[in-house]
Structure 1
Amino acid sequence: MECDNAADIVWRPKPSDIAAANVTDFMAWLSRHRGITVKTWDELWAWSVRDLAAFWSALWSYYRVIAERGPDQIVSPDPMPGARWFDGARLNYAENILARAPRDRAALIEVAEDQPPRRWSTEQITGMVGALSHELTKRGVRPGDRVAGYLPNVPEAVIALLATAAIGAVWSSCGPEFGTSSVIDRFGQIEPSVLLVVDGYRYGGNIHDRRDAIAEIRAQLPSVHTTIMVRKLQPEAPLPLGTLAFEELVATPRPPVFTAVLAGHPLWVLFTSGSTGRPKGIVHSHGGIVLEHLKSLGLCLDVGPADTMFFASSTSWMAWNYGIGALLHGASVVLSCADPARPRSDGLFAVAAQTGTTVLGLGSAYITSLAKQNMVLRDRLDLSALRLVMPTGSPLPPAGWRWLARELDARVDSICGGTEVCTVFFCGNPLTAVHAGRISGCSLGVEVQAWDHAGRPQCEQLGEMIVTTAMPSMPLFLWGDVDHKRYRETYFETYPGVWCQGDWVIIERDGSVAVAGRSDATLNRGGVRLGSAEVYAVVDRSPRGAALVRRMGRYP
């Protein structure tokens, strides 16, 4: 595809879009306060990867990060994976979230099946965070201890995360759709002292009681000394023996007391899928996540206080953690554990219409399914508030792009990230035109190249995705990884000193990107490499294949 082909442009910013963009304000701030003149996205990106320390220092100041102590050094000179970020700084993720969450409208909007949306204010959730963090402290939870959640995508899960982070403990979560063995494979590694659970949930018009599964999980996690139950199905039912009621613990609001921790202190553990062995526990830091989510959500996705963000997700997926970061920008966050195919197959768009969503993230496979059905949205749903749609999870085929362009007036801009960094490597931005089938470019502060087997950069050719710049949200370590051996072998063994996670990409001369799937799942047929993107493209064209994909769980 030629880089200068205007025929494939599906969105182009208007002057008003550019003038109102967060990144435009940031560039003006750079000129006033740092004497740095950049006038375009490409110029800003080039500076951001050329001078990492200056870029991240500017972000810290521009966003006025709340910290007990600022950093002595932005990034150490050590090569990856040894680079250290924000040495000397002391801050708290939960404090930054709650200080910036909306004050004049809902912070969280809860959507459950067959029920009207429920809105939760920042004042309300702050009082609950304070009450729950106080209870955790009373029960002996200290900085570094683990708290695990077996919870759906509901406000109680966000409150539990923030209460855990507030006292410097380490959070991890799995959705209740996970079977007991999958939960134990994950939580058994981190040995949580507290387990928050849900009695059950409604999905697909059915009730899913999880009390028997919880009893089995508790029996196999001997480290757990406190179990707290969120009663979503039967709020008046008796609690299992030795279990506390979430609603009783948070009934009396308390102001949170935030523990300022080092920027490199563990915040949460996210688990990889475990498709090639036991799931890896990815540990992220308070400082890295706060700065990364300020940058990528604020400057790249242009999220601000007028927005309502809905990222269709389970608490098992990094998109859940990423979406909560919208609170850092004063945006409202939609939380839904409803079936995306109810009451019709366009259920996610119905949730977006119902909640006035402006920024929507959803799986490419879900979009492809609706495109195949030739689903019509315009005649039924008011999606006039929607300004940005972000397909992710797998490459979006041309039929999906065409369908979205037909049905929506919003900008469609794919993103591509990973559990390992809990953010995006590639994304769009409000200043650059969008080409169908391609992601606009690299995120700020992130330089990605496509390399051949000999480590030579490729342009307009399929290559291994390589990250050549250290990122603040790269893992602190993998849980239980003695001497970081597994971490180095997994991401830095192929090309020493640079990040390689096993993905194929094609980078065009204009910097736009096409993701071609996993390089460790590639077939080589007569010298022609076929990645997962090609395989999915064929499967997606088959009705039986699409049905199989749905059963495999590619939908969020």
Structure 2
Amino acid sequence: MTGPVWIPSQPVVDGCNVERYRQWLTAHDGPDLPDYAALHAWSVAEPAQFWGSLWEYFDILATPHDEVLASAEMPGAQWFTGATLNYVDQVFRHVRDGIAVIDEPEPGTDGRRISWTELRRQVAAVANTLRRLGVGRGDRVVGYLPNIAEAVVAFLATAGLGAIWSSCGQDYSAPAAVARLGQLAPKVLITADGYRYNGREQDRREAISLLRQEIPSLEATIVVPRLGLDGLPGTIPWSADGDHELTTVLVPFDHPLWVLFSSGTTGKPKGIVHGHGGVVIEHVKQLSLHLDLKPADTFFWYTSPSWMMWNFQVAGLLVGATIVCHDGNPGYPAPGALWDLAARLDVTVLGTSPAYLQASEKAGVHPSLPTLRTLGATGSVVPPAAYRWVATELGEHIALASTSGGTDVVSAFAGAVPTAPIWVGEMSAPCLGVALEAWDADGRSVIDEVGELVVTKPMPSMPLSFWDDPDDLRYRDAYFSVYPGVWRHGDWITITGRGTVIVHGRSDSTLNRNGIRMGSADIYAVVEKLPEVVESLVIGAEQPDGGYWMPLFVVLADGTELTDELQDRIRDAIRRDASPRHVPDDIIAVPGIPHTRTGKKLEVPVKRLLQGHEAADVVDPQSVDDAGLLDVFAELSSRRSRR
């Protein structure tokens, strides 16, 4: 395919939310902007006008504000000063007949449908319980929960009180959960006795006991009987019964809503604090104008409460959509289980990972999703082959909305937009309100060249702070130490001449041969479409003697050996489809690739292991999906040092 892989039809353009917003602007004495490119340019040139217009267009439920953008300094921008609001009010303005939350476990267990009225009643009941336990504005309530409806109810009940929410999934071990949630000195823990995954029940009662022992600030623990196991002594059974009035606490725009945690692969997990107002306005923009979510939609992103995409999916309620909670394995009982579930639930907007797309292709899955309109993908770079597979298997009418953003802003920097075409391997455009640029080594904005992803103007959902960082020293060091006053995210990107965005991988794991910077994603896109290769990882390690070693690690399909012939084919493919400089020095078969628990390859920790660092100094094993794989690379490093 040489042209776009998806082109919006005129009915799609005419009926989408972003087009209605563009027309609304013109009708309300705003600028006359002929297309998305002009709309985006205006949104970053005039941020106060743009975000102020969204406040009015979406009729954000809040008290009046003094200024939209009182200070544009980063960090520390001041948005909608004087306004008070609550995230929960924006959710329950959509109460009506119909389903708000679908809780769907793995096959064999009945799912649940929770109406908008029932959701509000349950949130009010749980908020009443928390209030009786002494939870109030600024207190912390934490969840150690699977992706179930009770997690949504618990979050909304917490936020409505002006308290601060944080959560992680029950696939995290107790020490990993304590390393995150324990930092917050929470007053209440909300958890579940376990969950079902891959056809098995996962009993988490022992882990819960350890959390209670290791977090001394806890005054109460509430347990959801997900598996119906015997209760834990001294805990409170989950109850969302009773009729209580839902009353919310109005808080300032920048009052903390939740704390999300970084992956923890380079040290102690950082608690990233986001505010009520910034999240509300950013998420209604992203979900309505970019994903084109409407109240009639069913929105399902396969995710976990450990990952920002859980928060992003819950935000579907902000625009009145139905959301889906699922705590199972997307490949159980068959590789296409996630597709089957989405079809059964009449999902219209589905989100998954590039890894699942690749796994589906290699497993020969043929999905049939008659109601699907948009397929989201994030967590890592979407390889070009996945675009072609989606177009072939799901149909060219399905928009593959690859997005790039992060926990840091709990949103996206670049992605799809319903009025713009989608090109293979590219994101359609920077998102509205995101002053996205690619900067070269001299800090100059470049087009059609690889550069650092920077954001030159503030976004409302940028962090308020890091938890327990009173002077913002860690916060400034994380994003503003390279370019003062400009957000540096840590990704290599190319902004093309047609305005699309290509992500090449993390800039802190840059491949740099003879001064030429390359992205690892460009290599993965080539290697992982070979049928013999399940997954790969490439690093570039500076050596003590001044040399540079760039090995490629491959996980091979069952029954496949890394023969000289296969190595030659891998090198030839990279040379042909990437470039000669992308060809690795060595190709090494390994039993697996270690990832963060949200699926990102551990390029930097593996690089440091191969440079001779101790595993304990480069990565928290609790943050790794299979920490035993680190030993493979540590042993390889040891063998190389003995040569």
If the length of structure 2 is used for normalisation, what is the TM-score?
0.82
1:475 counterpart residue number: 463
1:168-223 Cα distance to aligned partner (Å, 9 max, x none):
00000000000111101101111100000110111001111000010011100000
2:563 counterpart residue number: none
Give the whole-Å Cα distance in 2 for the aligned partners of 1:212 and 1:340.
26
Residue of 415, 419, 427 corresponding to 1:431? 419
1:396 counterpart residue number: 382
Gaps of 5+ in 2: 535-553, 558-590, 601-643
Give the whole-Å Cα distance in 2 for the aligned partners of 1:498 and 1:23.
28
- CA drift at 1:277: 0.5
Are residue 386 (structure 1) and residue 386 (structure 2) matched? no
Give the whole-Å Cα distance in 2 for the aligned partners of 1:11 and 1:331.
24
Residue of 97, 103, 113 corresponding to 2:106? 113
2:54 counterpart residue number: 59
Residue of 33, 37, 55 corresponding to 1:38? 33
Are residue 521 (structure 1) and residue 531 (structure 2) matched? no
Give the whole-Å Cα distance in 2 for the aligned partners of 1:537 and 1:27.
36
1:506-546 Cα distance to aligned partner (Å, 9 max, x none):
11011101111100011222333333314533663413627
1:258-314 Cα distance to aligned partner (Å, 9 max, x none):
000001100000001011111110000000000001111111111111211111100
1:500 counterpart residue number: 488
1:309 counterpart residue number: 299
Give the whole-Å Cα distance in 2 for the aligned partners of 1:201 and 1:82.
40
Q: Give the aligned residue type for 1:62.
A: Y
Are residue 153 (structure 1) and residue 147 (structure 2) matched? yes
Residue of 271, 284, 287 corresponding to 2:277? 287
2:332 counterpart residue number: 342
- CA drift at 1:408: 0.9
Q: 1:535 to 1:190 in 2, by over 3 A?
A: farther
Are residue 222 (structure 1) and residue 216 (structure 2) matched? yes
- CA drift at 1:329: 1.4
- CA drift at 1:446: 0.5
Matches within 5 A, 1:118-517: 118-234=112-228, 237-247=229-239, 250-377=240-367, 381=368, 383-409=369-395, 410-517=398-505
Q: Give the aligned residue type for 1:408.
A: L
Residue 299 of structure 2 contacts residue 316 of structure 2 at CA under 8 Å; is this kept in 1?
yes
Name the stretch that deviates more: 267-276 or 301-310: 301-310
- CA drift at 1:550: 7.5
Give the whole-Å Cα distance in 2 for the aligned partners of 1:76 and 1:501.
24
SS at structure 1 position matched to 2:471: helix
Residue 229 of structure 1 contacts residue 246 of structure 1 at CA under 8 Å; is this kept in 2?
yes
Residue 230 of structure 1 contacts residue 246 of structure 1 at CA under 8 Å; is this kept in 2?
yes
Residue of 505, 525, 531 corresponding to 2:519? 531
Q: Give the aligned residue type for 1:76.
A: A
2:555 counterpart residue number: 545
Give the whole-Å Cα distance in 1 for the aligned partners of 2:346 and 2:594.
30
Gaps of 5+ in 1: 1-5
Give the whole-Å Cα distance in 1 for the aligned partners of 2:43 and 2:437.
15
Residue 97 of structure 2 contacts residue 117 of structure 2 at CA under 8 Å; is this kept in 1?
no
- CA drift at 1:365: 1.1
Give the whole-Å Cα distance in 2 for the aligned partners of 1:497 and 1:406.
44
SS at structure 2 position matched to 1:351: helix
Q: Give the aligned residue type for 1:80.
A: M
Residue 72 of structure 2 contacts residue 457 of structure 2 at CA under 8 Å; is this kept in 1?
no
- CA drift at 1:149: 0.2
Identity of matched residues, %: 43
1:76 counterpart residue number: 70
Root-mean-square deviation (CA), in Å?
1.6
Give the whole-Å Cα distance in 2 for the aligned partners of 1:176 and 1:523.
35
Residue 49 of structure 1 contacts residue 445 of structure 1 at CA under 8 Å; is this kept in 2?
yes
Give the whole-Å Cα distance in 1 for the aligned partners of 2:473 and 2:598.
31
- CA drift at 1:104: 2.8
Give the whole-Å Cα distance in 2 for the aligned partners of 1:360 and 1:46.
29
Q: Give the aligned residue type for 1:332.
A: T
Give the whole-Å Cα distance in 2 for the aligned partners of 1:163 and 1:297.
22
2:540 counterpart residue number: none
Q: Give the aligned residue type for 2:106.
A: E
1:378-427 Cα distance to aligned partner (Å, 9 max, x none):
xxx4x110000111111111221111111112111211110000111101
SS at structure 2 position matched to 1:108: strand
- CA drift at 1:62: 0.7
Residue 74 of structure 1 contacts residue 85 of structure 1 at CA under 8 Å; is this kept in 2?
yes
1:128-153 Cα distance to aligned partner (Å, 9 max, x none):
11111111111111101000000011
SS at structure 1 position matched to 2:355: helix
Residue 368 of structure 1 contacts residue 396 of structure 1 at CA under 8 Å; is this kept in 2?
no
Residue 415 of structure 1 contacts residue 439 of structure 1 at CA under 8 Å; is this kept in 2?
yes
Give the whole-Å Cα distance in 2 for the aligned partners of 1:292 and 1:444.
10
SS at structure 2 position matched to 1:429: coil
1:28 counterpart residue number: 23
- CA drift at 1:482: 1.9
Higher-RCO chain (CA-CA 8 Å, sequence separation at least 6): 1
SS at structure 2 position matched to 1:9: coil
SS at structure 1 position matched to 2:92: helix
If the length of structure 1 is used for normalisation, what is the TM-score?
0.95
Rg larger in structure: 2
Q: Give the aligned residue type for 1:545.
A: V
Q: 1:259 to 1:315 in 2, by over 3 A?
A: same
Give the whole-Å Cα distance in 2 for the aligned partners of 1:171 and 1:554.
19
- CA drift at 1:160: 0.3
Residue 366 of structure 1 contacts residue 555 of structure 1 at CA under 8 Å; is this kept in 2?
no
SS at structure 1 position matched to 2:13: helix
